[in-house]
Each structure stands twice: as C-alpha cells, then as structure tokens.
Structure 1
C-alpha cells in the first residue's frame, strides 16, 4: 500500500483545472475541467488510508472513500466505480454539488498540514469514466415481485428510493407535478454546478430499468393520495420543500422583488429551451440590473453567480452574519468573489424603497452579540447605521418551508410536525397512515442532496421490510 498511497507529503493538492473567471462568467458551463486519468490517480494516492476515516464518518452516505481512492490510485477504476456506486445512487452528482469542504474533505485527517484529498473531484471522475466506458447498466432484478410502490416526487430522495426498490424487483411508479425528472436537480441548481445532461442520463437509466414516470401529475389535483394507496402496495412521499420563506419588511411587495427559486427556475427553464415569459419580460432576468441577493446559503450563491452570467450590472449579497458564520459552502463564496460578486457582511435589510418598482434596499449594519441557545451569536442592529443600496432586482434566498401537504394531497389525516414537515416513526419511516412512508426534505426540512439520497435509500429498505412482512402474514393466513 505504501508504494501507491500516503503520497500527501510529497504531492501537493491539485483540483481539476478551473476555467478563468473572466471566461466562465459569460456562460453556464461547469467551471472545472475533468481530471486526466494520471492526475486523478496521483491525487487519489495522497490518501493516508487512516485507521479511522473521518471522511467516511462525516459523509451522510458513509461512502467507502479510502477504499475507492486506493483503487483509483492503482488504476482499477471499474472496481472503484462498483464500490462508489454501492453506497451512492448518484456519485457523479454528489461529486459535483456536495459541499465537500463541510463534509468529507473538511474532515480529512491530512487537512491541517497538507490540504485535504480532493475526494469530490475523484468521485466525479470515477463515475464519469464509468459512463464513458459503458459500465453503468440498467437494473435487471434477479426476480420480479408483484408488489408495486408509488413514489410522490422525482427529486433525489424519490429517485434514490426508486432505484433501490427496482433492484429488489418491485414495480415502481414515480409521480411528479413538474414536466421533467429531477426536481431541484433540474430546476434549482444552475448548469455551472450541475449540467442537465448529467441528470437526464440518470433518468434514462431508470426508464431503461423499467421505472414508470408520471409527469405533470400533481397528487391532490390529478389523483388523490387515497387513490394512490389503492393503486399501490406502498406509497413513499418525497416531495421536498418548496415554500419560500419571506421577509416581513415595508415595501416587500414591490415589483422587482422575487423569490430565489422562481429566479433560478426561470433561468434553468430558459437554458433548457422553454418559453419563459417572466424571463423574456425582464422580471426574472438580471441582464443590465443592479442585483441584491438576501441570504447566505447555497441557494443565495446560486443566485449571485447566475445573475453574473445573465449580465447583471452589479451583484451584491447581503448577509446578516460574517463570513465565518455563513451556512453556504466557502468554496462557492470564493467562486462568486472571483466572478465579481460583492459580499456585504453583517448587513440586514430593513425595508425596500421605490415608487412603481424597487429601487433601493434600505439596510442596517449588524453586530454579533452573545450566543443564543443554538450557540450562534445573536445579530443585533447598530443604531444609526442605515445605508440605501441601489437595486433593480432583489432576490430573497431565505430558505424553504414545507407546503401544507395534508391539504395539497387531500389527506387531512396525514400527520405533520409543528414545523409542517411530515411526522414519521423514524424506525419504520412510516407516517401515521399504514403503508405510507416519507423521506427527504419533507421529513428532515431543507437540507443537502446527499441527505436526500441517504433518506431515499433508507426508506426503500423500510418499505421492503414492510412489504415482505405483510406478504408473509398473508401467506400464513392463507394456510
């Protein structure tokens, strides 16, 4: 092992080549090029193969990271892919959009003195190579089961569950209210982080694996949850959370103020070739405008970097805490700064000014006071520190809350928590309705794609246990 691994002392960290900011700010292509095979092997060889792999511990999927890094260093990419895909349904997607600096790479044991292993980039390289070489095959279960499972939501949690259930031989149907498969992977994440072809080839793979998709089908409008329960032996709700949080401030209803997801969806739809009236009219188009984004998460980073590419005159990000307390990926912040985004730290909006449409954001400076119950310092306004920031387009990236699912699904008995998320028994992942399970953000709250994949896989296992137990009970009763 020592011959091929433990090279971190003499081999520096090297990410794939990053396109110059002056070039990438004018298009929506991914910003990193792809590793050459030799470079991927070299970077994988930096792994220390430590006894307690904190990278694996801090990955929600507990990917076998040291093992597939070693296989990559040895040039055994087909085996590396098999190992990587054994715990992750979408390794090439997670390799692109996971905040590795907060998860696996941020907990790499060599990080302090030698910079971490480039885990995400190697993961992406392994699976992209697998697609190129034809190693990724449609699912062909050893036996087909008669039971069917209906999945509400074609986002990462629903798709991960669909794949796992098909591997076990279940008949799977996925329902989604949108016209494309992928959820936020398609409409919420910009191309410069995740090109749409990467998602579409997964859709094709699932269709070739005999997963049925029912698109433009809204549960509660086109079919009720009760009808789904009659149609299928089990139902999984994996709708995600889409209700944008709002800000209570004077002038918030002025034209020119929009929710972040509306802006990102319009941009992605336009890139996909759809007719988007709000984009064409300029309402959700940053071209030539002074853009202010309010928020500090990954959605805010997607907005500021999208606005740059749309040709905004200026782009500012207002966040009420400092850089160290920002919830979004620090890598994304760095990319945004390189592309010309100005971050206005320790600043919060107080009101929005304008006559017929927004013209300025009236903001106030913030001081971080004593920590609250969560351990985070409490933002406190500094008196007489108001500043008016010019803005033609204001985007609110304040997070997401669950929609009112009992009403939407026409199932008033469906149990919810005080936060509006679906209430489940975490051991069985079942709601209060027999045979109805839930997973992903609709249970957890707005979170990362990698957690949605984890929850989808876990839900598939629980559904399998439920259906096999139920089938066994029926068989015993029939004797």
Structure 2
C-alpha cells in the first residue's frame, strides 16, 4: 500500500469519443487484474478514511482496496457486498468525484485520488464472472411478509436485506421490468442493462416475488397491499417532471426527459417503440436543445448524440462551476460533441412544431439561501437558438400519492414528498414505511440504497419486538 507517491492515478481506458458516440455500450474498459491491484495499492490506508465517511453507505473502502491490492479479491467482494447491495452499479454511476474520491486524502495532498469507483466495479464484475455472487438463501423462512411498492434501487435494496432474513417479500411495480430508473432512466453507456437484469434475476431466484405492470390505484389498491402484508414500503421514486412555462411551451417537439430516455432504453432492450419510429422521441438528423444542468440533462445530450442528431446544445442558467451535474459527465459530453451554452435560460419557444428556443443571457448575482449565486437576466441580450427537438431536463417532483392512492392520511411534506423518519423510513401510518427519492426528493441512487437497507433493518426490529411481546 501507500504507493501513491510512486504510482500515478490511472483510470480504465476510455473509448475514443468518435467511436463511443455511435453506440450505447459503456465508455470505460474494465481494469485488468494487475492494473486493479496497482491502483488499489495507491490507497494511503489513512487513520480517518474520509472516503468512507463521505460515502452514504459508509462502505469499508480502505479494507477492500487493501484486499484487492494483495490479490484477495473474493474477500474484497465479501467486504464490499456487506455494506452495499449493488456495488457494481454504484461503481458505474455514483458521482465519485463528489463523494468518496472527492474526499480522498491523497487527492487533497495533490497526488490524484484513488480510482475507487473503477476498482469497486472491477471487484464485483469479477465476482459475477467467478460465480461468487449467489442467490439469496435464508437459513430459515419467516412467516412475516412485506410488500414493496416500487422496484427501483431503494425498494430492491430493502427486498434483498429482508429476503436474506427469510421474510416473504413481494415487489409491486408499474413497469414491465424491475430496476426503476436503473432500467429505464439511465442510458446504457453509463449502465449496461444486463448489469441490472442479473441483479433482478438474483433476487427472483432467491424468492423475491415480482408483480410487474401493476399500478397502485388502478390494478390494485393500496389498502389491498396493506392488508396482504405485515409491513409496506413505499419506494416509488419521483417521476413527475418539472415543467417549463412560457410562450409556445405546448408546441410539438418539446418533450420530457423521462419520456425521451425511457423510449431510448426500451429500444436497447429490443422493444418496439412507436415514438422512436415516428421521430417524436428520436433525435436523428435534428437540432436538439436540452434544457437543464443535472445528470439527467447529461444523459439526454449524450443520448441525442448517439441517435445521430445534427447538433446538440445544452442550455443552463448558471455557469459550469455551479452546475449540479457531475463534472466528469460534462467532460464526457463535450468530448462527444455536445455544446454547452452557460448562463442561458429559456424564455419561450418559436414555431409549432418547435423550431427555436427563445434564450435570455444571464449573469450570476448574489448568493441565494442555498449559498449558490442567483442567475439574473441581462436585459437586451436575448436570442433564438434553432431547435427541432427540445428536451426538458429540469428535474423531478413527487406524484400526489395521497390522491392517486386514495390515502388522505398518508402525510406528505410541503414539497409533496412522503413524510417519514430518515433513519427508519417509518411514516405515521402503522406498518407503512417510505424510502428513497419519494422521501428525499430527487437524489442519488446510493442514497436510495442506504434508505432501503436502513428501512429493512427497522422492519426486522419491528418483527422481533412483536415476536417478543407475543411470547410474554
């Protein structure tokens, strides 16, 4: 270990932009064994591991780096899996530059961070190849059952934890494939879909029951689910797209990011997608403008490039330093041909079908309540950006679950998120819990996994307490 003073940081090889922007395969190659060991050996094994404390799951990162560096890869996988239900997914899509790697001690000292995410991905991909990843096999079956609404990362993490303890688990989801945004929201060039599908298959092989194409409030009521189980977890995520008002905002050719990404991902599964065939959600040959500066916007611009767009521009009202998305993803997008228009905000649209976006030039003023500088309009600096397809990637909000599910007693916050304890996910409704984005608002996959695991632990304690009371 401690080789950071003699060994430079070295990421896995990234495919050339003019090659990778023509397909939806992941852009990074895998480490070879020797390279993974070399990069893991750069870890300083510091006494206070800031990488671990800044990871929402508090993964034992220094431990599995040391095990990887010394060739004990199966043990490294066991340590990694102990705190993270989906390490190969987090290794691919976590914004490590803002979490573990961004707080690496040797990064702070100028030596370049340990490539934690790439090593994490290598460990678990190797575990799958070697057959170390086994279906969940509880030692004893328990009589209690839990219904989980939503097959995204939070719900699946809870399902995994509960099933390992022998709890009977049923997952309900509106889509035809489990995985939530992992399946239909994140493009294949960041997360290839077989990576998600094999986890779904592992859970199903371990006894988790999936009821797909099942929409709560239509195909089954919330009360029916609640009556069928000893506890219920709400893990629906947030799917309501934030809208953009202004003259011409209802024109044909202005679409939501979630619809656009879902259509593209369905096509990658081999599904027939009429919206792609008709051109409605297809960027081929078009001048595309994406509005937003988060990770979803980065997914959209990079998808549009791969669909064969004539040009792709991203409008964001702040500057590069203040954008919420990953800097790594922004760099990848620029390499692939995306043009970023910083300090630019839409003020309306021209044509129907749309043929342009009215844009206001902005400048950054005084910091707002969050500490970020507020964008201010520069008067007289408006212009029109040509566009045949406009994609709104302005973030997501929670759906009105109390109304949709006819559950007025389900308490929500002023933002519409379900009101639940962050440590356990417990709501004020007895036996009902909530985890992930439906509690936090739009957030990271790693936080949803953390919430799901914490909630599962709280439910297991509830069952044990109930058993102890019954025995008295």
Match of 1:468 among 458, 464, 469: 464
Q: Does 2:72 align with 1:76? A: yes
Partner of 2:442: 446
Residue in structure 1 matching 2:328, options 318, 331, 336: 331
From 99, 107, 115, the counterpart of 2:103? 107
In the TM superposition, what are the counterparts of 1:124-273 in structure 2 within 5 Å? Answer: 124-273=121-270
Q: 1:116, 1:233 → 2: CA distance?
A: 46
- Pairwise CA distance, 1:169: 1.0
Unaligned runs of 5+ in 1: none
Q: Is the 8 A contact 2:149 2:155 kept in 1?
A: yes
The whole-number CA distance in structure 1 between the counterparts of 2:210 and 2:98 is 34
Question: Which consecutive aligned stretches of 4+ in structure 1 deviate over 4 angstroms post-superposition?
Answer: none
Question: How many residue pairs are counted as aligned between the two chains?
Answer: 471
What is the TM-score when the length of structure 1 is the normalising length? 0.97
CA deviation profile, 1:323-376 (whole Å, cap 9, x unmatched):
00010000000000000000000110011011x311010101101001112111
SS at match of 1:114: coil
Uncovered stretches (5+) of structure 2, i.e. residues with no partner: none
Task: Give me the whole-angstrom Cα distance separating, in 2, the residues matched to 1:308 and 1:428.
Answer: 42
Task: State the partner residue of 1:39.
Answer: 35
Q: Does 1:370 align with 2:372?
A: no
Match in the other structure for 2:55: 59
Matching of residue 352 in structure 1 with residue 349 in structure 2: yes
Q: Structure 1 CA distance, aligned partners of 2:420 and 2:187?
A: 32
The answer as to 2:391 corresponding to 1:395 is: yes
1:455 Cα deviation after fit: 0.3
Q: Secondary structure at the match of 1:19?
A: coil
The answer as to 2:304 corresponding to 1:303 is: no
Once residues 408 and 177 of structure 1 are traced to their aligned partners in structure 2, the CA distance between those partners, rounded to angstroms, is 13
- Equivalent residue, structure 1, for 2:4: 8
Alpha-carbon distance in structure 1 between the residues aligned to 2:313 and 2:152:
30
Shift of residue 474, structure 1, vs aligned partner: 2.6
Secondary structure of the 2:183 match is helix
Compute the displacement of 1:230 (Å).
Answer: 1.0
> What is the aligned partner in structure 1 of residue 90 from structure 2?
94
Q: Aligned Cα RMSD in Å?
A: 0.8
